[in-house]
Amino acid sequence: MKREIPLMIVFVAGLFMAVQFFVPHATSEYIYEFVMEWTIIIGIFALALGIWSFIKVAASKIQRRSENWQYSIVALAGLAGMIIFALPWFGGLESYMFRSFFNNVMIPLHATMFSLLAFFIASAAFRAFRAHSALATVLLLSALIVMLRFNPYMGPLGDIDADIASWILNVPNLAAKRAIIIGIGLGIVATALKVILGIERTYMGKD
């Protein structure tokens, strides 16, 4: 029974949502909206599980004095601080400290982490764009053609390059993306089908 009931739930819920797609009636729309709202709310409860896991891992590191345990204190302090500042007594999401933390800690960290991509895209290009096979050469050349548009000293070659670059970005790009997306569509449907039919059940765990 421990396994059958969840598989039943998967089957019923899956079939129901699949059928819902074909029913335009308001009742079906209501059910769709409810289910969407439910999953968001369940997600918040799950987040509590996540935070618990986070605390458990950090606490065990501190307890065992494993390498870099000091930084786990920083992580826990950040966690606690942010949660405390968002408590109703501090004014919830509108509290000064909560907003300051968001604007001066989270935003700069986010933007900087994101901007590291500028460096990594350069090192990846250096490392991987080597003409060691025909395929690698194609990859390298098409990247170079697109990047060359930014070189102002190309003369008339620049015009030709710009045209080729925009053609590549429009035509083969479209074709390849379409092939990938069609494949993905089939893969998604196949996987969804396997899940609903209970063929794929590894995620259920075992007892």
85 burial level (CB within 10 Å; 0-12, 13-18, 19+): buried
Q: Select 41 or 65, whichever has its Cβ closest to another protein.
A: 41
**Please, which contacts does 83-89 make with residues 24 or more away whose CB atoms are closer than 8 Å?**
none
28 burial level (CB within 10 Å; 0-12, 13-18, 19+): middle
* Shortest distance (Å) from residue 65 CB to another protein: 15
* Shortest distance (Å) from residue 204 CB to another protein: 6
Q: Select 6 or 65, whichever has its Cβ closest to another protein.
A: 6
* Shortest distance (Å) from residue 146 CB to another protein: 3
Contacting residues for 95 by C-beta, under 8 A, at least 6 apart: 85, 86
Which phi-psi region, left, alpha or beta, contains residue 129 (left: φ > 0; alpha: ψ -120 to 50)? beta
| Distance in angstroms (rounded) separating the CA atoms of residues 52 and 103 | 26
* Shortest distance (Å) from residue 135 CB to another protein: 5
| Distance in angstroms (rounded) separating the CA atoms of residues 14 and 192 | 9
* Shortest distance (Å) from residue 97 CB to another protein: 10
Q: Taking each helix axis from N to C terminus, what angle separates 26-64 and 4-20, rounded to the nearest 10 degrees?
A: 130
Q: Select 52 or 65, whichever has its Cβ closest to another protein.
A: 52
